[in-house]
Structure 1
Amino acid sequence: MGEGETLEQRRSLAAPLIFFIIVVFQFATKWLQDLKKGASKTDKEIQLRGEIKQLLKEAASLSQPSTFAQAAKLRRSAAAKEKELANYQAQRSKEVKLSYDWYLKVLFMLKVIIYLVLIFWFWRSPVASVSQQLVQPFGKMLSWKTGGSLNNNVMVGIIPWLILCTRVSKFVCRIIK
Structure 2
Amino acid sequence: MEETLVERGKSLAAPTIFIIVAAFHFLSRYIELNKKKKGSLNAKDDQLRSEIKELLKEASSLSQPSTFAQAAKLRRMAAAKEKELAKNQEIQKKEVKSSYDTQEKILKISNVLAYAVLIIWFWRMPVATISEELVQPFGKMLSWRSGGALKDHVTVGIMPWLIVSARVNRFICRKVLK
2:43 matches 1:46: no
CA RMSD of aligned residues (A): 2.6
Alignment partner, residue 86 of structure 2:
86
Alignment partner, residue 162 of structure 1:
162
Structure 1 unaligned residues grouped into runs of 5+:
none
Kindly state the Cα deviation for residue 146 of structure 1 after the two structures are TM-superposed: 1.3
State the secondary structure of the residue aligned to 2:19.
Answer: helix
Is 41-50 or 61-70 further displaced after alignment? 61-70
Matches of 2:128 and 2:149, distance apart in 1: 11
Q: Mapping of 1:69-148 within 5 angstroms?
A: 69=69, 71-147=71-147
* Cα shift readout 1:7-33 (whole Å, capped 9, x = no counterpart): 321221011111111111122222233
Kept after mapping to 2: 8 A contact 1:148/1:154: no
Kindly state the Cα deviation for residue 5 of structure 1 after the two structures are TM-superposed: 2.2
Alignment partner, residue 5 of structure 2:
6
**Identical columns (%):** 54
Q: Mapping of 1:16-55 within 5 angstroms?
A: 16-38=15-37, 40-43=39-42, 44-55=44-55
* TM-score in terms of structure 2 length: 0.81
Kept after mapping to 2: 8 A contact 1:140/1:148: no
Alignment partner, residue 176 of structure 1:
176
* TM-score in terms of structure 1 length: 0.81
Is 22-31 or 142-151 further displaced after alignment? 142-151
Kindly state the Cα deviation for residue 82 of structure 1 after the two structures are TM-superposed: 2.3
Structure 2 unaligned residues grouped into runs of 5+:
none
Matches of 1:29 and 1:138, distance apart in 2: 30
Q: Flag the 1:6–1:48 CA change in 2: closer, same or farther, 3 A.
A: same
Kindly state the Cα deviation for residue 46 of structure 1 after the two structures are TM-superposed: 3.5
Kept after mapping to 2: 8 A contact 1:131/1:152: yes
Q: Flag the 1:142–1:62 CA change in 2: closer, same or farther, 3 A.
A: farther
Kindly state the Cα deviation for residue 69 of structure 1 after the two structures are TM-superposed: 4.9
Kindly state the Cα deviation for residue 50 of structure 1 after the two structures are TM-superposed: 4.0
